[in-house]
Amino acid sequence: MKAWKHLGVVETIHEEKEYEYSSSTSPSLSPTISSPPTPLHTRVQAWSLAWGQKTDILISVHGRCFHLHKDALTSRSTYLKRELMGISVFTLSPSLKITAETFALVADFCYGTNIVITPFNVAALRTAAELLGMTEPNNEGEENLLQITETCFYRIIAVNREYALIVFHSCLSMLPEAETAAYLLSRCVEALSSVEDDGNGHNAACFDDVIPMSPEDFLIVAESMHRRLTSHDVLYRTVNLYFKGYSGKLTEEQKTHICNSIDCNKLSPQLLLEAVQNPTMPLRFMVRAMLMEQLNTRRSILSATDCTQPPRRQRIINEHPTTLGAILQRETAARQAAHLKAAMNATSSRIESLEKELSVMKKLLNDSETQRSIMAGSARSSSFHYGGGSENKIERGDRGSASLRFFVRGGRRSSSSLEASSTDLAETPRTRKNMRQRLIYGLKTAFRVPKLSASKNESSFLKQSSIKAMANDCGAAVSGKNLSRMAKTVGKATNIVWHKCSVEKCDRQGLLEQKGCVIWITGLSGSGKSTLACALSRGLHERGKLTYILDGDNVRHGLNSDLGFKAEDRAENIRRIGEVAKLFADAGIICIASLISPYRKDRDACRALLPERDFIEVFLDVPLEVCEARDPKGLYKLARSGKIKGFTGIDDPYEPPVSCEIVLRQKAGICFPPCAMAETVISYLEEKSYLQA
């Protein structure tokens, strides 16, 4: 890294020494000898004289105090407009990483000063403008600070490599805010990577200073580079440099998370081959690079072969591009089709045997009916009656349909069961018993699919489908007596029956190529539940998976609009959401429920609604003070002032999970970005095979 003192840049210093000052409306007021006048001090005095107002707010920034006017600040900053309401003393949160020098420049700008922006302060000012909401123009309609710093940022990093490196260095001390708020670091990387190589073939060498970064900060940088760079060669070299130079210990999981930001499709062939043989990289990334290398080789071979094929063959290949996923999908489909065909052939042959046995039983039943009619000498109805007409023949389904028809009598279906009453066939009890046993044995034998190479699930699915088809084709009617036995009482509802459908959860999951489940995100207000839910839904959507979010606030707009925030209302709110989430999971959809759900018993009740392992509890373990510092809705402030009662974390308890599936917490006082936390949850889903049917 070249020394900055050789650069053609003049560092402009226009901020005062550390001291406290105040202003008043008196024109004779002047600072003491120990506090010489400064540009900001002069501006404050001029404002007091012009508007006839004294300073009405004391702002402390990293131990330095600024006596300023609320009107001047709130007219240009939405953040300060919200925070300074009704107070006279305010401390700027250290988590924003806005230094006293940077805030002094921001205050200068609020008072109308034309501040000087250099490569040394543009990143700090651009980040502060984003965090403080400096989006408001002044009364003359001039540009706001965010627009000014954004324009200067682009101009500075586009001048030359040295200026871009200065900005890059200044961003490192402001991570993660510099990246999460304004994407400054990734844009510096983009500008540096667009500059021609300096001759050594390693543009990534300019990033030597990223080596001391923590893995959490470097992950943010890598993810930003993943989003912005069209070629990932520079990203791969930077990651490789970081793995080799990092002084601490990197776990395999940390390396895998970082390498997930590298898209092997965007690597050049030379670097892709290097990645396959690089022992520094994690095993999962090397396997992924190896598969991509093989796929590229296959494509090259097919491209060379296409040149010698006739036009018709070329057109077919273009219409059906060959990819690794398509090849595996076609092979799986062909294997499943072969298994199903073999199973259906076996079932068809067994149904033919059953039909032959039914013909024999028909003859026996006809003989028995004739004998009974002669002996009884009456015209009473019988369970089985046959004439000589064609309308009294046994109907059967098409070949291989695995279904039976009820016996037809008088042009309609008989509601009698196959088992005759003891009165009707009292004359031949042994014959009746033998027929019953043979019928039961035939039904069991017909639908016992032989052991094939197909999987256990396919065989079970085939048997269930055959039995369901038989029941549907037979048109079996449930008698009033049986229906009354099936009826149940659930809650306040009486005489209700659960109606099953032939399309079940496994069928819907097979259609969606995923497994339905409920991801229950719990945590304090302001911990980032909704943000994580949206990032998780976006990540799964990009992988072709169907999701739906049940947000605690959104559901109260409709389904739960009749509920308040008492303990019993909260329990009912969670119960309803749990029932809806259960329906989504049963539909094969990945349902993401994000709500505080403070009580452990309510969460456990929702877990009990779903099958084992289909309820995935994600705990955002964010400290109360961090949530209260964020306070995006201003609820903590209202709770502290007593305007909200029963607020979770303040005057109402939150019971953290005891044994949840995933815990997301800070490391070294730094929260992971939402996309990184979402990837953690997605990795869990992949490990547990929820993203495949």
Cα distance from N-terminal residue to C-terminal residue, the chain:
52
Distance CA 169, CA 172 (A): 5
Which runs of consecutive H residues, i.e. helices, occur in 76-198? 78-83, 100-110, 122-131, 145-157, 161-172, 177-182, 184-194
- At 615, the amino acid letter reads F
* φ, ψ for residue 601, nearest 5 deg: -65, -35
Express the helix, strand and coil content of the chain in percent, nearest 5 each. Answer: 50, 10, 40
Assigned token pair, 306: 């296409």
In single-letter form, the type of residue at position 524 comes to L
Rg (CA), the chain: 37
Tokens of residue 596, six digits: 């505080």
Q: Are 354 and 443 in contact (CB under 8 A)?
A: yes
Strand residue runs (E) in 483-553: 488-490, 493-496, 517-522, 547-551
Strand arrangement, sheet containing 590-594: 547-551, 590-594, 517-522, 615-621, 662-665
Q: Active site includes 75?
A: no
The amino acid present at 124, given as its one-letter code, is A
CB count in 10 Å sphere of residue 17? 8
Distance of CA 125 to the CA centre of its chain: 34
Out of 466, 597, 659, 689, which one is annotated catalytic?
Answer: 597
Sign of the alpha-carbon torsion through 77, 82, 87, 93? negative
CA 544 to mean position of chain CA atoms: 11
**Paired sense of beta strands 89-91 and 57-61, if any:** parallel
Give me 229's structure tokens.
């760079």
Helix and strand element counts for the chain (H, E): 27, 12
Residues marked as catalytic: 597
